[in-house]
Every structure is written in structure tokens, then in C-alpha cells.
Amino acid sequence: MPDTPDTRCGFVAVIGAPNVGKSTLLNAVVGTKVSIVSPKVQTTRSRVLGIVIRGASQIVFIDTPGIFTPRRRLERAMVAAAWGGAGDADSVALLVDAARGCDADTSAILERLAESGRKAILVLNKVDLVRKPTLLDLAGKLNERGLFEATFMVSALTGDGIGDFVEHLSQIVAPGPWLFPEDQVSDMPQRLLAAEITREQILLQLHQELPYRAAVETESWEERSDGSAKISQVIYVEKENHRAIVLGKGGSRIKAIGAAARKELETLLDIRVHLFLFVKVRENWADDPERYREWGLDFKA
Ligand SMILES: Nc1nc2c(ncn2[C@@H]2O[C@H](COP(=O)(O)OP(=O)(O)O)[C@@H](O)[C@H]2O)c(=O)[nH]1
Ligand SMILES: [Mg+2]
């Protein structure tokens, strides 16, 4: 017998309209939070990897920003990153919100998939929200154009159907060596993940346009001798009145954001965390090339 290893490995890009549950799916397959989630669109700004091992297969999921018709520079860069993720991957999973059905964003993605000529995997998400007949109707309709090699019906929230989906992928990824260490679940540096956790709280706790116009950066990360970490972050907003909103009355909002983010970080990192947040006004951060580099986005997309 030749001593060829029987391992398999492949990249699977998760694409779809905003808010269909791509990041929730990524966290569900990985089993821990690697990508932040909120009810707001544009939560995911860059490409995030989630790495899963199933049997002899290592499946590397690429979470992408939602695909929609972009208007601003940041949006253009995010959509370009999403399609870039699909181009780099061995397989593409198109996620559709079963409750929302086939809306304009999803139709546009189907159009582009058809043009590319590559087969994708259809994943109908949020099955916990719809009745079976509606679901089957939608699956039938989406399959009419013959763009999909397989269809899965899942709930990223409850975990329903996730096992079958991962099992299928473990069988179709190509034979080859694993590309990441066995215990690695993401490629996101801890400082960036920590910043994302705080941004998630901003999205969850604040409303209107402001959350989309805030950025978070981890400025320093100090490991202390008692095993805890002191993390300082800056929240960048674009206007002085946004700063006031993030701070809240007597600093109450920033306090709540910090408390929730700290709790989440302590669970994720499994250490005690001292989190210090500062709010700064930086007009036009969304037009600063440096930010794009940091997130792995193309400024000129
Ligand atoms: N009911 C239900 N809600 C879900 C499910 N998956 C995601 N969501 C919710 O949909 C919203 C958007 O999720 P997110 O993962 O950020 O979507 P993304 O923009 O595609 O990455 C969040 O409020 C999630 O909690 C699901 O299977 N069922
Ligand atoms: Mg997302």
C-alpha cells in the first residue's frame, strides 16, 4: 500500500444577500464565535475564515460581507471582497433566507452565478421561521435554473441541518494535506476579533445610521502577570454628535457596550479582561486607505 495520507481539504465560500445568516452559519459550523452577528446589514466588513474538521477533512469556510448593490466606497470594497472570496474558493455555498425568499439581491447573485458557469450549493437558512410547503416551493423555484449541485435546509440559529451540510462538504473537498493546524478555528488575529466583538455591541445597542459609521481598533493588549489581559480600544465615529450618542447620558451607553463586550471576550478567550474604550471623532475614516488594508479590503474596488 502506498503511504499517501487520506486527508482532504478545501475552501468553501459562504455568499448571499445581507442578513441571510452567513456569519451565524459560520459560527454554527465552527462551534464558537469567529464572526460577529447582528440584525443590521453590513455587520461583516471583511473576509473571515472559519475552520472545521470533519473526519479526515478540513473544511475552510470563508464568511463574506453580504452581496448587494453598493453605493459608497466601503460598500464597494465589501462586495468586491465577497465575490473575491467566491473566486478563491473550491466550492460556493449560496445562503438564502427562507423567510425572505428570493429578493432582488438574491436574484442578482443568481444572475452572476449563472454567468460564471460554476455550480454552487444552495443553503436555505432560517427554516425555523417557515412552514415546510413554503420551504419546498422556494427550493423548487431556486433550483429551476440548474445552478445548484445540492440543496440543504438549515437553521444556523438552532443548528438544525448543519451536520448534514458539513458532512456533505467533508466528502466533496479534494484530497490533500490540511492547510491549518488542527486546533485553529479562524485566521483572524485576536486584536481584530476583540475589536469586532466591541463593534458587535455597537451594532446591537445603538440604532439608526450611526452603527454603520463606526469603526473599532484595538490600540493595546497587555498580558498581566495574573493571567488577565488589559485591552484598550478606540471607537472611531465620524461626527461630534455621534460621539455623544456612543457615550450616552453620563457615559452610560459606553459603559454598557464595554460591559457586554468584556463579558463576551472573557468567554471567548477564557481569561479575565479589563477593557478600556475611548471614543474619537475621525471624519471620513471610511475614506482612509489604511482602514481598508487592516480589514483586507481593496480601497480601489
Ligand atoms: N430565526 C433565525 N434567525 C437567524 C438564523 N440565522 C441567522 N439569523 C439572524 O439573522 C440576523 C442576521 O444574521 P447574520 O449572521 O449577521 O447575517 P449575515 O449578514 O448574512 O452575516 C441575525 O439577527 C441572526 O440572529 C436562523 O437560522 N434562524
Ligand atoms: Mg455577516
Q: Is residue 102 situated within a structural domain?
A: yes
57-63 and 8-16 as β-strands: parallel, antiparallel, unpaired?
Answer: parallel
Whether residue 299 is predicted with pLDDT greater than 70 in this model: the reply is: yes
Q: What is the CATH number of the domain that holds 72?
A: 3.40.50.300
Test site for ligand 1: of 29, 37, 47, 96, most ligand atoms within 8 A of the Cβ = 37
Asked if residue 3 belongs to a domain, the reply is no
Are 38 and 147 contained in the same domain? yes
Residue 36's pLDDT band (cuts 50, 70, 90)? confident
Over residues 48-56, the mean pLDDT reads 93
The per-residue pLDDT of the chain, averaged, comes to 90
What does the H/E/C string look like for the chain?
Answer: CCCCCCCEEEEEEEEECCCCCHHHHHHHHHCCCCCCCCCCCCCCCCCEEEEEEECCEEEEEEECCCCCCCCCHHHHHHHHHHHHHHHHCCEEEEEEECCCCCCHHHHHHHHHHHHHCCCEEEEEECHHHCCHHHHHHHHHHHHCCCCEEEEEECCCCCCCCHHHHHHHHHHHCCECCCCCCCCCCCCCCHHHHHHHHHHHHHHHHCCCCHHHHCEEEEEEEEECCCCCEEEEEEEEECCHHHHHHHHCHHHHHHHHHHHHHHHHHHHHHCCCEEEEEEEEECCCHHHCHHHHHHHCCCCCC
The answer to the question of residue 177 being in a domain is no
Give the separation between CA 102 and CA 98, rounded to whole angstroms.
Answer: 8
| Residue 161 pLDDT greater than 90, yes or no | yes
- The domain that holds 263 is classified in CATH as 3.30.300.20
**Same structural domain, 100 and 230:** no
Please give the single-letter amino acid code of residue 255.
K
Mean pLDDT of 140-148: 95
Q: Is residue 215 part of a domain?
A: yes
172, 206, 239 — which closes off a domain? 172
Which ligand does the CA of 97 lie closest to? Answer: 1
Best-predicted range by mean pLDDT among 163-167, 179-183, 285-289, 297-301?
163-167
Say if residue 161 is in the same domain as residue 120.
Answer: yes
277: Cβ contacts below 8 Å, ≥ 6 apart: 198, 232, 233, 234, 235, 254, 257, 258, 261
Does residue 182 form part of some domain?
no
Atom of ligand 1 nearest to the CA of 17: 20
Which ligand has the nearest atom to the CA of 65? 2
Question: In angstroms, rounded to a whole number, what is the distance separating the alpha carbons of residues 4 and 51?
Answer: 23
Residues 198 and 164 in one domain: no
Instruction: Return the sign of the alpha-carbon dihedral for residues 23, 215, 235, 202.
Output: negative
Kindly state the percentage of the chain with pLDDT values over 70.
98
One domain for residues 158 and 206:
no
Q: Provide the residue range defining the domain that includes 255.
A: 190-295
In a domain, 179, yes or no: no
Considering its fold, how many domains does the chain have in total?
Answer: 2
Residue found under cell 487592516:
294
| Residue with the larger pLDDT of the pair 143 and 214 | 143
Give the Cα separation of 45 and 203 in Å (integer).
13
pTM listed for this prediction: 0.86
Residue 225 Cα to ligand 2 middle (Å): 36
pLDDT band at 260, cuts 50/70/90?
very high
Which three cell numbers mark 135?
420551504
185 belongs to a structural domain: no
**286 falls in which pLDDT band (50, 70, 90)?**
confident
pLDDT category at 2 given cuts 50, 70, 90 is: very low
Q: To test the ligand 1 pocket, which listed residue (19, 62, 100, 127) has its Cβ within 8 A of the most ligand atoms?
A: 19
Asked which of 141, 172, 203 is the last residue of a domain, the reply is 172
In a domain, 101, yes or no: yes
The ligand that comes nearest to the alpha carbon of residue 40 is 1
pLDDT tens figures, 71-121: 778 778 877 877 877 777 889 999 999 999 999 999 989 998 898 888 899
Judged against a pLDDT cut of 80, whether residue 270 lies above it is answered with yes
